[in-house]
């Protein structure tokens, strides 16, 4: 029969790579605990409406990249393309947003976008992200950029740059959009088809277009920073002051606009020198209108998200080969022949309460059991034979020093001896 392959744009996470994923997740939980963020897990599919309203009708994600389907109950559902809209939806649905309370949440899991697969770009990929909801203060923006920065360092990454911008708010943005349209109008015929469409609906997205022809045309475009209203300008200055106080270096990038429509004021990305064209390891920003957009009261928020596949690529580029070393068994329980099997099973079960223990599962010869133990990097091999069992002892070989000792079985069971 023909082989069935994983769908295009998806990837299996196999051992030993899966070890790195477990380690990334472990470090994430540990770091988030220290920063006071709690985990939230939301469904992998939501009503399509959530993303249309939350991420925005004009965004590439909603226009072109969502996996949307109708279920047997005639509901329009979408696989989640990102995490923030779901977090906002859940926070509203469960009444988590109380006046005067600041929510700090993080999530990790698969996201789905019907994108053209390329290096570091998948149709099912994994994001980790965090949100601070319920504060309009610039220090909340710094908390999000700070936790992202700390997380990246915790993963062992180097060569990172924070790029910062302000995309304004619904009050100052219309004037900016007009200025941008005035700048782009004479160039319209040279822009790509997508950008021609964006010109009316969402001209700021043109600044983010990756088509080289469009990138050439936007050189010299007016900056959002020149059009900020008083409130947005003060906020931007305060965010910078907070980042300086927190010791986080950043560059101002007036061309930085993010692909999702919900951002207001702060927008940021972190780039990694070793990643080439897809150099953003993650980003985020403030979304003061999102909670209202998904049906809640007015509740300002700010968040980031990062792509875990890209983090692993960046680590590879940095030469960090091993996020987590292979787990080596403390003991390999070998048997001289099948008469020792039951004792081996009993002993391996007891040893596994104290550490990592392995035994042969294939009926291999003693010689090949030693080979297995060597391949696994076991620290000690315990050899059980019928005669030794009768005498209540086993031979224990230290694989590093090659020293062999006879050890009473009782000590092996209880861990009562150094030699075991």
Binding site for ligand AMP (CB under 6 A): 82, 113, 115, 120-122, 125, 127, 258-259, 280-283, 305-307, 309-310
Residue whose CB is less far from ligand AMP, 184 or 257: 257
In sequence order, what DSSP letters do the residues of 128-185 get, joined into one string?
EEEEEES--SHHHHHHHHHHHHHHHHHTT--SEEEEEEE---TTTHHHHHHHHHHHHG
State the minimum distance, in angstroms, from the CB of residue 244 to ligand AMP.
Answer: 24
State the minimum distance, in angstroms, from the CB of residue 127 to ligand AMP.
Answer: 5
- R_g over Cα of the chain: 28
Residue whose CB is less far from ligand AMP, 47 or 124: 124
Residue pair 413/399 in contact (Cβ under 8 Å)? The answer is no
- Nearest in space to 151 (alpha carbons), one of 372, 255, 307: 307
Residue whose CB is less far from ligand AMP, 265 or 310: 310
Residue whose CB is less far from ligand AMP, 115 or 238: 115
Residue pair 150/305 in contact (Cβ under 8 Å)? The answer is no
Residue whose CB is less far from ligand AMP, 178 or 316: 316
State the minimum distance, in angstroms, from the CB of residue 362 to ligand AMP.
Answer: 39
State the minimum distance, in angstroms, from the CB of residue 61 to ligand AMP.
Answer: 7
Give the tokens for residue 32: 């988030």
Residue in the structure block whose two tokens are 């509740």: 299
State the minimum distance, in angstroms, from the CB of residue 305 to ligand AMP.
Answer: 5
Angle at 15 (CA atoms; ends 12, 21), nearest 5 degrees = 75
Residue whose CB is less far from ligand AMP, 257 or 381: 257
State the minimum distance, in angstroms, from the CB of residue 141 to ligand AMP.
Answer: 16
Residue whose CB is less far from ligand AMP, 206 or 384: 206
State the minimum distance, in angstroms, from the CB of residue 287 to ligand AMP.
Answer: 12
In sequence order, what DSSP letters do the residues of 209-275 get, joined into one string?
---HHHHHHTTTPPPGGGG--HHHHHHHHHHHHHHHHTT---EE-TT---SSTT-EEEEEEEEEGGG
Backbone dihedral region of 316: left (phi > 0), alpha (psi from -120 to 50 degrees) or beta? Answer: alpha
């Amino acid at each position: 029969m023909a082989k069935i392959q994983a769908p295009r744009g998806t990837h299996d996470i196999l051992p030993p790579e899966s070890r790195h994923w477990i380690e990334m997740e472990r470090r994430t939980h540990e770091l988030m605990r220290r920063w006071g963020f709690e985990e939230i897990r939301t469904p992998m599919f939501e009503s399509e409406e959530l993303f249309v309203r939350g991420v925005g009708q004009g965004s590439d994600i909603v226009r072109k990249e969502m996996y949307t389907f109708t279920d047997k109950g005639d509901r329009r559902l979408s696989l989640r393309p990102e995490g923030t809209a779901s977090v906002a939806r859940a926070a509203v649905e469960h009444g988590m947003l109380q006046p005067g309370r600041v929510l700090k949440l993080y999530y990790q899991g698969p996201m789905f976008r019907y994108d053209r697969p390329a290096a570091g770009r998948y149709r099912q990929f994994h994001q980790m992200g965090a949100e601070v909801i319920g504060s309009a203060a610039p220090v909340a923006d710094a908390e999000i950029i700070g936790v992202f920065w700390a997380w990246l360092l915790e993963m062992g990454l180097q060569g990172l740059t924070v790029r910062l911008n302000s995309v304004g708010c619904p009050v100052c943005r219309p004037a900016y959009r007009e200025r941008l349209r005035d700048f782009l109008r004479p160039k319209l015929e040279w822009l790509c088809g997508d950008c021609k469409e964006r010109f009316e609906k969402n001209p700021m997205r043109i600044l983010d277009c990756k088509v080289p022809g469009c990138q050439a045309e936007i050189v010299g475009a007016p900056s959002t920073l020149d059009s900020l209203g008083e409130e947005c300008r003060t906020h931007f200055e305060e965010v910078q002051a907070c980042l300086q106080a927190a010791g986080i270096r950043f560059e101002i990038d007036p061309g930085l606009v993010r692909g999702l429509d919900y951002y207001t004021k702060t927008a940021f990305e972190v780039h990694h020198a070793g990643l080439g064209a897809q150099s953003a390891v993650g980003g985020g920003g403030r979304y003061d209108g999102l909670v209202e957009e998904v049906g809640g009261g007015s509740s300002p928020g700010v968040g980031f998200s990062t792509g875990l596949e890209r983090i692993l690529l960046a680590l590879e580029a940095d030469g960090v080969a091993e996020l987590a070393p292979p787990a080596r068994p403390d003991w390999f329980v070998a048997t001289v022949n099948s008469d020792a099997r039951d004792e081996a099973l009993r002993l391996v079960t007891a040893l596994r309460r104290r550490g990592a223990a392995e035994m042969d599962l294939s009926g291999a010869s003693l010689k090949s059991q030693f080979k297995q133990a060597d391949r696994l990097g076991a620290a000690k091999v315990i050899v059980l034979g019928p005669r030794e069992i009768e005498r209540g002892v086993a031979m224990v070989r230290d694989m590093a020093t090659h020293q062999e000792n006879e050890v009473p079985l009782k000590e092996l069971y209880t861990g009562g001896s150094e030699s075991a």
